[in-house]
Every structure is written in C-alpha cells, then in structure tokens.
C-alpha cells in the first residue's frame, strides 16, 4: 500500500481522517491561501485543495496525498477563518438569521491521478443576539474555523438547519467524497 498523506495541519481534518482507520501522515502544504481577484468561494476551495495536495505530492511522489479546503460563502463573498475574537463576532453578526453555504473541496493526487470533488453544505443560522454571540465565542473560541462556528461543538446551538449529502464536509473534510477519491487511487478503506 502506498503511503497516505494528509496535506494539512488542521486537527479537525486529522481527526476526521482517522475515522477511516487508514494509517496516514500529516504534512503542512505551504500554500498561499490568498483568494485571486474575483474568485468565487467554490472555485477558491477547489483551487486550494488541489494546490495543497500537489504541493505535498511534489515532495512525496509515490504517496497518495489528500488536500482539502473550506470556504464559507455569504452571498458570494468568501468568509475565511476569523483569527480573532473581534473578527469572529463581526462574522457571526453578519451571518445571524441568514444562510451560509460552506464550500468544501477535497483533492487526491497520486501517481497517475489528480482528482477533485466538492461538497456543498447549506447552513441556516438562527437570529442571534449580541449576548448569545459573545457567550458562544467565549465558550468555543472558534477563531480557526471558517464562518466562526464549530458545529461539532457548542456552535450547533447557533443553527436552525444544516443540509448536505456529505455531513463531515461541514467540519472540513467530506469523508464520503474522500473515500470515493481514495478508491480511485487504489486505497480501499474497507479492505
């Protein structure tokens, strides 16, 4: 079996990939994540997922490399990781009572293969008071999450609905699509 590498330092993606019970190594992809001028969120997620996988595959040419990226899309505008309490508060205030589409792309690069899939997750936030936002941010500190909310934690209390055909996509790695791509690369999680 060729080595499996996750081109990511995200603990969320690493935790998700462990569910497949395949041995893997995580390697930082060293990719500039700055959006291109006029780049829409779905295209940004796909470009970055493939760039991450290719960057690590160039260093490990015999490996199967997974790259993934997620971009929160609010009316066509990409929302990244807030990085600070103030930025997270501003994001959640903008998203309050609205639908946000999370575009999560996964790419697999292996000898003879470079493939990408994207999962779309529609999230409807309930109307949030400033007090609720502040309480949530102090409790969960989601400053490293696109859209400023951890659905796998207390962030679920911010939501009215989540709609997706690949539920782990919201956490950052769409495992259904990842399995499909791994099979194309010759790795079967159930083997």
Residues annotated as part of the active site: 69
Contact yes or no for 65/109 (Cβ under 8 A)? yes
């Amino acid at each position: 079996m060729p080595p499996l590498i996750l081109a990511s330092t995200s603990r969320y993606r690493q935790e998700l990939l462990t569910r497949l019970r395949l041995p893997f190594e995580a390697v930082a992809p060293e990719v500039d994540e700055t959006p291109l001028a006029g780049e829409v969120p779905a295209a940004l997620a796909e470009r970055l997922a493939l760039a991450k996988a290719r960057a690590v595959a160039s260093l490990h040419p015999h490996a199967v490399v997974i790259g993934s990226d997620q971009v929160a899309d609010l009316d066509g505008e990409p929302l990244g990781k807030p990085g600070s309490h103030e930025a997270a508060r501003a994001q959640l205030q903008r998203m309050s009572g609205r639908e946000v589409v999370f575009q999560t792309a996964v790419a697999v690069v292996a000898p003879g293969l470079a493939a990408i899939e994207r999962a779309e997750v529609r999230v409807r936030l309930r109307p949030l008071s400033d007090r609720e936002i502040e309480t949530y941010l102090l409790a969960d500190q989601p400053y490293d999450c696109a859209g400023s909310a951890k659905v796998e934690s207390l962030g679920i209390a911010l939501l009215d609905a989540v709609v997706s055909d690949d539920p782990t996509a919201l956490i950052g790695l769409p495992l259904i699509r990842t399995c499909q791509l791994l099979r194309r690369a010759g790795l079967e999680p159930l083997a």
